[in-house]
Amino acid sequence: MCYKIIQYAEYSCSHQTVTRQQVVDCRKRDCRFSPSHQTGMHTCGSTCSQMSVSCLTTLTANSRPPECFLIKD
């Protein structure tokens, strides 16, 4: 099944913001999100893999940005 890698930055206030996203293609014909997904008639909802929360991989950036843009003076 395809999965998504999400990289984010975490500020000193614990706020997180996404900095980059990438989908990793599994190249399976029965995966709804793959460019290799079958195009002919089929019952996709019951026969093909669907992406779920478990398909997300998150990475935290090593360096913290100095100031959160949501904090107002």
CB 29 within 8 A of CB 39: no
| pLDDT reported for residue 32 | 82
Amino acid sitting at position 29? R
What average pLDDT score do residues 2-20 get? 81
Q: Does the pLDDT value for residue 41 go beyond 70?
A: yes
Pick the more confident residue, 71 or 10. 10
Q: Does the pLDDT value for residue 63 go beyond 80?
A: no
The Cα 60–Cα 65 span in angstroms is: 12
Q: Does the pLDDT value for residue 29 go beyond 80?
A: yes
Instruction: Name the token pair of 35.
Output: 């460019």
Q: Where are the beta strands (DSSP E) in 1-73?
A: 3-10, 16-24, 56-60
Pick the more confident residue, 23 or 59. 23
